Amino acid sequence: MLKFLFFVLSALPIIAFAQPKADRVIVSKTESKLYLMSDHKVFREFKVAFGNNPTGHKQHEGDERTPEGKYVLDYKNDGSSFYKSIHISYPNKNDINIAKKKGVDPGGLIMIHGQRNGFGWLSSITQYFNWTDGCIAITNSEMDEIWEAVDIGTPIEIMP
C-alpha cells in the first residue's frame, strides 16, 4: 500500500504540469507564429521562421516558400539534419495538379523542425530571419514541446 501511495504522489507533479495534446496546429505567416490548439483554444504559441521567400503559397521545388493551406502532420523524424522534424503532408493533390499544369515539380519535404544539428546555440539569432528552404523552423527546446504535444495525424493550417 505504501509503495502504491508513493507512486501516486510522485506522479502528481507530472500530471499537474502535463501539456495538453494539440488537436490542431495553426501557422500564421504574417505573424510568424505557430499556435497549438486544443478545444478551439490556443494553449501555446511560438515565434517561427519560414523560407527565404515567404510571401505566397509554395509553387515549385526551390522557390523557398512555405506552403499555405490545410495539411496533416503525417510523420515524425528524430534523425533528420535538423533537431527533430515533423513532416507536413505537402504537396496535396491540388498542389500536384497545379504544378503539373505549370510543368514544374511541386517540391516536398516540408517540415516543422528545430535548428540545424550542431547549431542550436544560434537560434537566438536565426529565429529573427526567414532562413529555411520552405520549412517552419523553431528553437530546439520549442521543438521538444511541439514534439510532445502533437500526434501523427494532427491537422495543420498554414495561413498567409
Task: Show the cell assigned to 111.
Answer: 517540415
CATH number at residue 9: 2.40.440.10
**Chain-wide mean pLDDT for the chain?**
89
**DSSP assigned state of 32:** T
**DSSP assigned state of 26:** E
pLDDT level of residue 37 (50, 70, 90 thresholds): very high
- Does residue 3 surpass a pLDDT of 90? no
**Burial degree of 153 (CB within 10 A; 0-12, 13-18, 19+):** exposed
DSSP string, 50-86: -BSS-SS---STTS-PPP-EEEEEEEEESSSSBSSEE
Of the listed ranges 6-10, 136-140, 153-157, the one predicted with least confidence:
6-10
Host domain of residue 44: 2-159
**Burial degree of 116 (CB within 10 A; 0-12, 13-18, 19+):** middle
pTM for this one?
0.85
Task: Quote the pLDDT of residue 8.
Answer: 47
Residue 64 has φ and ψ, to the nearest 5°, of 60, 30
Q: Which residue type occupies 65? A: R
* Per-residue model confidence as pLDDT tens digits over 65-93: 999 999 999 999 998 899 999 999 999 99
- Does residue 33 surpass a pLDDT of 70? yes
Neighbours of 102 (CB within 10 A): 11
Domain count, the chain: 1
